[in-house]
Amino acid sequence: MYRKITLDNGLRILTTPMPHTRSVGVGIFTGVGSRYESKATNGISHFIEHMMFKGTPRRPSAQQISETIEGLGGILNAGTGSEATTYWAKVAHHHLPVALDLLVDIFHHSTFEPQEVEKERQVILQEISRLMDVPGSWVHVLIDRLIWPAHPVGREITGTKESVMRIRRDDMLDYVARTYTPRNTVISVAGNLDHEKVLEQLSKELAGWEAKPVPSFLPATEPSPGPSLQIQFKEIEQAHLCVGMRGLSFNDPDYFKLRVLNVVLGEGMSSRLFLEIRENRGLAYSVGSYASSLSDTGAVVLYAGVPPQKAADVVSAMMEQLELLRKKQVPQAEMTKAKEFIKGRILLSMEGTFANAQWFGKQEVLNQDVLTVDQVIERVDAVTAPDVQAVAQHLFTTEQLRLAAIGAFKAEEDLRARLGL
């Protein structure tokens, strides 16, 4: 269990003691990401995340920032999502004061020097180019666009080349001032730590941080009529395709039912998609599914990498598996296997200190119920076969389906027909 202290300005500080460990994980979680952006500023959250590592008055270069942690054998990193941005470090437990000091310094005092902004702009443009050059990654961008057309959730987290070129230093400073607020931020620490010392150090640095309103985002709308299929021609040996549809938010009462359903469908080498499409039919090397969830929406996506001439057969096989889950309840043995898969993966992932810091910190900043591992396991165990079938019947409908594909396709009619569009 963790301890939680809320400062007067709204900043939440969480500590999770793990006295048997020799490390500590620290994360600063701020509740802002790409869905908070306008079309014109798409990518600004990600741009800001990069800039936080470029210099502060006390550490004026990226090298000094990285060496502060790497010089201790630690790890320093960050990540931008649709609804949250994370800055984190993991170090030996006796170096915790240094990790806290460094993370607060970059989060609160980064200078966004103009020359560094321009240098990093070029780096991000290269990052976007790299993403576009990897069809197995880019196809997931395309399916998001189809699932959430003309909505911030459907835009790239990195932004586009055009939007990144438009973002200016003043835009970033204004965005940070409006969205990086204490009430919108959680600092979570887990490992071999002293709660009172952590609280003393962070309070000294951040208690005077001015309280401001929590930013808001555009709610997800109901799926609207629009393009249901996008084929991008690319002369490559293997085609990449995604079949996707709206899923469930992590606040939905059926969220854990969907997690079990997804494991049955396509997560892991014993899932139905893997066994049928790869093992039984030999149609694809890489195949599977995932369910992503945000605070008010989500998606279920099936993916495969296939020879272009076999793509239509793979789509048909995917449709068969979706229909089977709609029509028949999952056998009890398969239900048990799926639940144990989820529980085992959770327990294995929680062996690290930063994993524990992230478990509580991210839940806290996204304003969902903060569940312990045992509470999640209880909810997974409570899922029944009729529950899974009901979710499949609700989500796996023809009008919801979208298809994105990249490859050397001759025509799209066959793919559209196999999808039932």
Whose structure tokens read 């990249």? 406
Whose structure tokens read 């200190």? 353
SS3 372: coil
* Residue 203 burial class via C-beta count within 10 angstroms: exposed 0-12, middle 13-18, buried 19 and up: middle
Both tokens of 29, joined, read 């979680």
Both tokens of 381, joined, read 């165990």
Kindly list the catalytic residues: 49
- For the residues of 126-153, what is the DSSP string, one character each? HHHHHHHH-HHHHHHHHHHHHHSTTSGG
Of 282, 236, 41, which Cα lies nearest the Cα of 138? 236
Cα–Cα distance, 105 to 13 (Å, whole number): 16
Q: What is the CA radius of gyration of the chain?
A: 23
Going by DSSP bridges, is the β-strand pair 402-407/239-246 parallel, antiparallel, or unpaired? antiparallel
CB atoms within 10 A of CB 12: 19
